[in-house]
Amino acid sequence: MRILVANDDGIDSAHLRTLTAALRDAGHEITVIAPDCQKSGYSHSLSIRPKITAKYLPDYMEGVTAYSLAGTPVDCVLLGLEGIVTEKPDMVISGVNDGYNTGDCVYYSGTFGAAHQGAIFGIPSVALSCDFGCSEDVVKRLCELVIPQLQHLLTSLPARSVASFNMPKNASGEIVICKLDKSFIMDEMKSERLENGDVYLYTYSMYEPEKPDDDSDVYWLLKRRPTLSVITDLGTEDSFRLVGNE
């Protein structure tokens, strides 16, 4: 199938290269469009007014069309679909991210944002993440688990949804399909107020919930199981009713 690959860690990411090579070797036609530098945490941010440059990379990888983009992960998918790829891809895959995207963190993730943009365009979309600092062997194992499932995902994912996979170090067992943990799992934040009234705000560490929700992504990842969470479109006709409109 034709696959558009993006990420938020940037075009120089080793995990991106490992994923791209695995998809190419499985016989898929790959176009890579990735940010020219680290863009983690950009969520669904896109560039409204600036002119965006996509640099063609003829030597990126044999048999792969690749561009680096001076923009966000969502820009990569938007520009790819609207201005670079000549035929609509069958699938958008974003990752492999260096660090989990679990629980509420998916909504801050540039990795998820890029995949979600593909879903908005009606394309089956996948987000791939692994534990922070994983070796390429772990990423290869994630690819071995996910790539055989792509054809099934292509035909079975609900409309406007994203299949989000997470891979732990020293993974044991098959992929568990599970819900997102509801704990607020994010970088701890610290602020400092200066004498002139300015405030510095910065993140400085990651943490895990002490008691994750049962059968959630965090619950299973702590047990070293790879996870899949299907994140569906939040807006549905039946999501809310006004009083008197029943």
Q: Does 164 reside within a domain?
A: yes
Q: Does 121 reside within a domain?
A: yes
**Using an 8 Å Cβ cutoff, are 19 and 93 in contact?**
yes
Using CB atoms within 10 A of its CB, is residue 10 exposed (0-12), middle (13-18) or buried (19+)? middle
Q: Does 218 reside within a domain?
A: yes
Q: Which two tokens stand for residue 160?
A: 């406007």
Using DSSP's 3-state secondary structure scheme, residue 138 falls into helix
Give which of 133, 125, 124 is closest to 106, Cα–Cα.
Answer: 125
| pLDDT of 41 | 84
Q: Does 202 reside within a domain?
A: no
Q: Phi first, then psi: what are they for 14, rounded to 5°?
A: -65, -35
**Using an 8 Å Cβ cutoff, are 74 and 94 in contact?**
no
Q: Which CATH number does the domain housing residue 62 bear?
A: 3.40.1210.10
Q: Does 195 reside within a domain?
A: no
What is the domain extent for residue 104? 2-179+213-231
Q: Does 201 reside within a domain?
A: no
Q: Report the sign of the C-alpha dihedral through residues 145, 162, 98, 107, in that order.
A: negative
**Using an 8 Å Cβ cutoff, are 81 and 46 in contact?**
no
CA–CA separation, 146 and 153 (whole Å): 10
Report residues of the chain scoring pLDDT below 50.
none
Give which of 186, 208, 190 is closest to 199, Cα–Cα.
Answer: 190
**Using an 8 Å Cβ cutoff, are 129 and 166 in contact?**
yes
| pLDDT of 225 | 97
CB atoms within 10 A of CB 53: 12
Q: Which two tokens stand for residue 134?
A: 């994983």
Secondary structure (DSSP) of 215-230 = TBHHHHHHTT--EEEE
**Which tens digit of pLDDT belongs to each residue from 192-223?**
888 898 888 776 555 566 688 899 999 999 99
CA–CA separation, 75 and 81 (whole Å): 10
Q: How many domains does the chain have?
A: 1
Alpha helices in 55-192 (DSSP H): 73-79, 110-120, 136-146, 150-156
Q: Does 160 reside within a domain?
A: yes
Is the pTM here over 0.85, yes or no? yes
| pLDDT of 200 | 82
CA–CA separation, 175 and 170 (whole Å): 13
Beta pairing partners, 167: 130
Q: Does 122 reside within a domain?
A: yes
